Amino acid sequence: MKSDAITKGMQAAPQRSLLNALGFTKEEMKRPLIGIVSSYNEIVPGHMNIDKIVEAVKMGVAMAGGVPREFPAIAVCDGIAMGHSGMRYSLVTRDLIADSTECMALAHQFDGLVMIPNCDKNVPGLLMAAARVNIPTIFVSGGPMLAGKVHGHKRSLSSMFEAVGANAAGKMTDDEVAYFEEHVCPTCGSCSGMYTANSMNCLTEVLGMGLRGNGTIPAVYSERIRLAKKAGMQIMELVEKNIRPRDIMTKDAILNALTIDMALGCSTNSMLHLPAIAHEIGFDFDIKFANPISEKTPNLCHLAPAGHTYMEDLNEAGGVYAVMKEISELGLLNLDCMTVTGKTVGENIKNAVNLNPEVIRPLDNPYSKTGGLAVLSGNIAPDGSVVKRSAVVPEMMVHEGPARVFESEEDAIAAIKGGKIVPGDVVVIRYEGPKGGPGMREMLNPTSAIAGMGLGSSVALITDGRFSGASRGASIGHVSPEAAVGGPIGLIQEGDIISIDIPNYSLNLKVSDEELEERRKNFVPKKTEVSGYLARYASMVTSANRGAILEINK
């Protein structure tokens, strides 16, 4: 065992003395040492129940003969950070989480890890750490929030942001917004639609790193406590059999995740996180892999914000395994991939059943024959851009309109709420990419303002920043290369005609190559002045199409 380095032999006597200070017994020093990576905090709704999950995991570890020891991982609530300078600190935490977990796991020679994440960057950060550390590891998330109820209809956080836009358009009173405010987020848990946190918790199941139900069992259900106990017990089997993350998170497993991503209609942020996880196992993930997979993979789910079903509905319909079982019938999954159950994907999903064909459409009645995400390329985005096409209305799948150019999210929001954006416009928000932001802020406020003001079926938005999983409409993000490194999005001028063709994966500026070259001669990218961690991050971060991973400049 790895922990022998701190528990066995004369050379470990000083370490044993410190373990004695922790109250360890001699019997405990003979057992596997299991790190419990807790994301609990008191500011993120998705994490306020994680202390209960931790206690259940510890009980499971102890029942199976291990010694659990807890240490923390940070987490930012994207909803609370949204729309102000704090959003610069969301994506950047993914690497802090991975780095700090690596440090704790290896410094203390744990034999195994149980990761307990829940929200947006917390899940991929810990998946990255698991791949990097590569000791037996299992995940159990805090679980999704139940949907809110407003006037008899299910609602979620995206409804709240859109209510603010409706209020600005005079379509909703202050009192009506206040009523929404008190009812859309009724419980603890990750926000109740197929937003980024729930997308990544579901994909954790697909990757094989979490037990069945990891992504869908609601946070407030006692079933989640039972799941946590099972995860605590299961880590001991993984330690005994030495089944490690890189045995599970293989290239085939990541392509399985991308395939189910298309079927579920996951957040566009998965196209930042899957490449970053792949990087940790040495797999050079090109986001353009998405298009050929999307062409073969039907979209079976329309959870909020794309539709009117929620995570609790997906759970009752059979969960992620039921979706995988449907897609496996097309031969699109590698069923031989190993998982934390100690069994293969095929063995895990063998008896899964779709219990609600309205929530999980069967193969003969998909929402669309193509997947939920698309990567668009062209002279605006030579290295690609990402759109959640399952959340785009049919009339916006192909669109041409004049560019309305803004140098920041705040400027764009002011124009949208000020009534300066009209049907047909293409809002361009630049200098919000990984380097330019820095931190690649999410654009839920402008997309929600567009939807709330009734422009969702007539206005598009493109940015080198990114979108919340709660965004919907013709919202095209991750434009690469970004403006801050000289990307063509920085050359767009007010009134230029932009052509969007999602079915044909294209995003183009209808300006001649000669004119663009002339503009480039005088183009000096704007620089954002930052200090501290953001400055270090900006100096090391790569483009969105590479997952915004960090690399040392040589």
Q: Which residues are catalytic?
A: 468
Place of tokens 């929402």: 367
Alpha helices, DSSP H, located in 92-191: 93-107, 122-133, 157-168, 174-183
Cα dihedral 366, 370, 375, 378 in deg (nearest 10): -130
- From the list 342, 291, 294, 347, the residue with the least C-alpha distance to 324 is 347
Per-residue exposure over 530-554, b if at least 16 CB sit within 10 Å of its own CB, e if not: beebbeebbeebbbbbbbbbbeeee
The two tokens of residue 12 are 């470990």
Rounded Cα–Cα distance for residues 174 and 182 (Å): 13
147, burial (CB in 10 Å: exposed 0-12, middle 13-18, buried 19+): buried
Question: How far from 183 is each of 180, 207, 237, 326, CA to CA, in Å?
Answer: 5, 34, 42, 34
415, burial (CB in 10 Å: exposed 0-12, middle 13-18, buried 19+): middle
Q: Are 136 and 284 in contact (CB under 8 A)?
A: no
Rounded Cα–Cα distance for residues 83 and 288 (Å): 29
The two tokens of residue 305 are 């914000």
